[in-house]
Amino acid sequence: MKPDPWFFEKKSIERGFVTVAGIDEAGRGPLAGPVVSAAVILPSSFQVSGIKDSKKLTPGKRAYLYEKIYENAISVGIGIVDSIEIDRINILKASLMSMAMSVDNLNPQPDYLLIDGKFRISSNLPQEPVIKGDSLSISIAAASIVAKVTRDRLMEIYHLYYPEFEFARHKGYPTKAHKEAIRKFGLCPIHRRSFRTTFPNPYRLKRI
């Protein structure tokens, strides 16, 4: 029997909560660019089909669902933490910070949070971490789509500034082509210096 994608939302409402938000992030693994989180509050009448973990969708399907989520959601909030802050506090803390920012940017504010993963975020709101939540909760899955599309589009903009790294192609992830570009050109301003152990060696820091 297929799991109910609304299970966690329904359970929260049965406990007395009214406005439930799903939260997820994109961009923990790349060597460059920000980490982006999204928080999404869906209405109970939401009937768009195909919402699931963004990693299981094609880019075209993600883009289509992204538009449908924005058209139908009660609220969508975005949180972005750049590579400088990632290097300063580490990627896990930056991811949780971006999640908290995305919740702060919701209007109206939720009264309960469903968070992908096993960590709680800095918020006074009641919250529930859900491991593999992007596959179990429709609200978290919707947030995963919004976060992924938002970050991908940011990386496409960065591509215009640093075309030698082909960010529009790999979105900053550690592909062979990306590592070869780093070996050839050094690091650009949006590379995460704290990830240096994963960079090809030797590498050169690009002057900024």
pLDDT at 71: 98
What is the model's pLDDT at position 102? Answer: 98
Domain 7-160 matching CATH 3.30.420.10: the answer reads yes
pTM for the model stands at 0.94
8-state DSSP, 4: P
Task: Supply the pLDDT for residue 207.
Answer: 44
Nearest residue to 99 via CA among 153, 35, 37:
37
Distance linking the first and last C-alpha atoms of the chain: 55
Answer positive or negative: Cα dihedral of 60, 31, 28, 208. negative
Tokens of 59: 């880019």
Domain ranges of the chain: 7-160
Per-residue pLDDT of the chain (208 residues; tens, 9 = 90+): 778 999 999 999 999 999 999 999 999 999 999 999 999 999 999 999 999 999 999 999 999 999 999 999 999 999 999 999 999 999 999 999 999 999 999 999 999 999 999 999 999 999 999 999 999 999 999 999 999 999 999 999 999 999 999 999 999 999 999 999 999 999 999 999 998 766 665 455 444 3
Per-residue pLDDT at 201: 59
Q: In what order do the strands lie in the sheet with 20-26?
A: 75-81, 35-41, 20-26, 112-116, 127-130
DSSP notation for 111-159: SEEEEESS---S-SS-EEEETTHHHH-HHHHHHHHHHHHHHHHHHHHHH
